[in-house]
Structure formats: structure tokens, C-alpha cells
């Protein structure tokens, strides 16, 4: 069911006025209460339940062949998960829409001040290399946000797009429901619980990737630039790409939280895999509230991606 613009504005206002910046969700809560295997969509080719169990947390996954609509894998695909830096992709797409409209120029320089910096401990090469601030082009901000997952770059891009409401409206206009872009990276760094407010379902992530693939809301040149930066992304080499054949083209965006009291809130990766036959497999895997170490969490993502790859490549 498509959610109206008014509905999302109500959500944004309600969440913004929560007292003390408290979170909407204490942790990622399943939408249904049955065992994970009961939540798989009919016709899914791969049962990833056992792989997901290795994380000992809440895992959601969806994998779909974009050209055919064939569902390859689905687990907890309608549950909400904290996106963390995955949300830098819809923010960047919203900026590119304004580039296409002539409101923003990729070559224009934007001031990045100390007030824009995310806190120490949050990843930001821009802050680390320019402690007194700098000016940087929109194109480079996009590269830092997508390819390097720079939190400062993401916040400056959100401001450039007009703030969270225009970004959310862009997502809604793409008919991507169940994805909420609400807070800045600085806000995420100030309160552990805030990350749960910026959530998406695996199905919503696939819908966003499909919109990108189909150039909905984006020109061909804008799509090409974003895909280039996603392919060149340096974080998460052991996630979706981890077990795929060397040379496989993967355009992806990761998301990672810190760890508190032994629990990691988010280890995510969403992306588009180019298959040997030229078709494209969109995949989204969210690993939330997990006590497992990083190698295990990333291994779950890699194994789910490989299982989906094998199924559609006829190797299973």
C-alpha cells in the first residue's frame, strides 16, 4: 500500500517531537512473531534461515532479480531494521534529483565548517583531513558519502537537499514505503537509540535499488555517477562481495553501528550484483542487535549473497 506524503509528514513531526530525543524503537522489532522460516515469501529459492542464525540476532534479507521480479531469497523482509549509513544512498539520490533539475551543480563548491563535523569516533575523512573546515564540490561530497561512507559528507548533502523532509518526500515519491530518513549523522552519534528511528525493511531497500536501476527520479548520467561511486565503495569488502567470484561487479552501500554492551545494532549491506548473464540481482541484508563478532556478522551477509548468487547462476 502506498503511503501518502501527508502520512510521512505526520510521522516526521511525531518523531521529531518525541521528548528527549527518545527512540521510536528500543531495538529492531519483527513485524510478525512466527519463526523466521514462516516469513519467507512464496517461491523463494533459497532458505537462508540457518545462515542468519549464526548472527544470533535479528536478520532480514531480500534478493530479487530486477529484470524478472523473481524472488531468490526472503527472510523477515517486512521487518524494520536500523539503516545506519545505508541511508546515505537515498540522501544522495535526492541530491542528484536536484542536480537534474538544475538547482544544484556537481561542480559547485560547498563550505564544510567545524559545525558540520560529526563527532570524533564517527568516520569522517573530510573532518580528519580538514580540521578547520574546507570547501568541497558536490561531486566530491557524493563520493565521500557513498564510496567512503563519510558521515560529515552525508550531513552536508542532507542540508544541501533541503533537510530530512525533502529527502523523505523524494523517497516517498519513488513509491518506496517503509523507509524512514529522519536524523543526521551527528544526531546518530549523540544517542544510541536514535539509529532505530532511521529504519527500513529489506523489501523497501530492494524497492530503492530497483528505482535506482530503472532510473526513476534520476537522469541516466546521475544514475551512472551514483553506481560508479557504489562500485568503488571501499567499506564492506567482506559483506555482499565477500564470497562472490573475483571481478563480480557489485554496486553497494554498507551501514554499520558501534557496539554497546556487547551488542552491535547494525551490520548492513544493500546492493546490485551484475550476474554472468547480464541481469541484475538486487540484495539487501540487515543484521541487527547481534552479539556476534564482526567476522561472523559480515560472514552472514556474504553467505546469504553467495547462496542467492548460486541459485540464480545455476550452481546450487
Positions marked active-site: 85, 185
- Alpha-carbon distance 309 to 251, whole Å? 15
- Alpha-carbon distance 198 to 179, whole Å? 8
The grid coordinates listed for 247 are 571481478
Q: Hey, how many other C-beta atoms are within 10 angstroms of the C-beta on 279?
A: 14
SS3 265: strand
> Which residues of 66-190 form beta strands (DSSP E)?
71-75, 81-82, 109-112, 134-137
- Alpha-carbon distance 125 to 147, whole Å? 11
Q: Which residue has the cell 558536490?
A: 138
- Alpha-carbon distance 162 to 165, whole Å? 8
SS3 268: strand
Torsion-angle region of residue 56: left (phi > 0), alpha (psi -120 to 50) or beta? left
Amino acid at each position: 500500500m502506498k503511503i501518502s506524503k501527508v502520512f510521512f509528514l505526520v510521522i516526521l513531526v511525531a518523531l521529531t517531537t518525541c521528548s528527549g530525543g527518545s527512540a521510536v524503537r528500543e531495538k529492531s522489532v519483527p513485524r510478525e512473531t512466527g519463526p523466521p522460516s514462516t516469513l519467507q515469501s512464496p517461491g523463494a529459492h533459497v532458505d537462508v534461515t540457518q545462515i542468519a542464525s549464526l548472527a544470533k540476532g535479528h536478520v532480514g534479507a531480500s534478493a530479487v532479480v530486477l529484470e524478472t521480479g523473481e524472488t531468490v531469497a526472503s527472510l523477515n523482509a517486512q521487518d524494520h531494521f536500523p539503516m545506519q549509513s545505508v541511508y546515505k544512498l537515498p540522501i544522495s539520490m535526492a541530491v542528484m534529483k536536484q542536480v537534474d533539475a538544475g538547482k544544484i551543480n556537481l561542480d559547485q563548491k560547498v563550505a564544510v565548517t567545524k559545525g558540520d563535523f560529526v563527532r570524533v569516533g564517527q568516520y569522517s575523512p573530510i573532518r580528519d583531513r580538514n580540521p578547520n573546515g574546507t570547501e568541497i564540490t558536490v561531486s566530491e561530497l557524493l563520493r565521500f558519502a557513498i564510496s567512503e561512507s563519510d558521515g560529515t559528507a552525508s550531513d552536508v548533502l542532507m542540508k544541501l537537499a533541503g533537510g530530512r523532509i525533502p529527502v523523505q518526500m523524494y523517497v516517498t515519491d519513488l513509491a518506496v514505503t517503509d523507509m524512514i530518513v529522519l536524523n543526521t549523522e551527528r544526531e546518530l552519534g549523540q544517542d544510541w537509540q536514535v539509529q532505530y528511528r532511521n529504519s527500513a525493511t529489506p523489501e523497501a531497500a530492494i524497492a530503492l535499488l530497483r528505482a535506482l536501476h530503472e532510473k526513476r527520479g534520476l537522469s541516466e548520467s546521475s544514475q551512472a555517477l551514483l553506481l560508479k561511486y557504489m562500485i568503488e565503495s571501499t567499506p564492506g569488502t567482506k559483506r555482499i562481495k565477500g564470497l562472490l567470484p573475483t571481478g563480480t561487479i557489485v554496486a553497494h552501500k554498507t551501514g554499520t553501528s558501534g557496539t554497546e554492551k556487547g551488542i552491535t545494532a547494525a551490520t548492513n549491506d544493500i546492493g546490485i550484483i551484475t550476474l554472468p548473464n547480464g541481469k541484475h540481482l538486487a540484495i539487501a541484508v540487515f543484521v541487527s542487535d547481534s552479539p556476534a563478532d564482526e567476522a561472523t556478522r559480515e560472514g552472514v551477509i556474504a553467505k546469504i549473497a553467495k547462496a542467492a548468487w548460486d541459485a540464480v547462476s545455476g550452481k546450487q
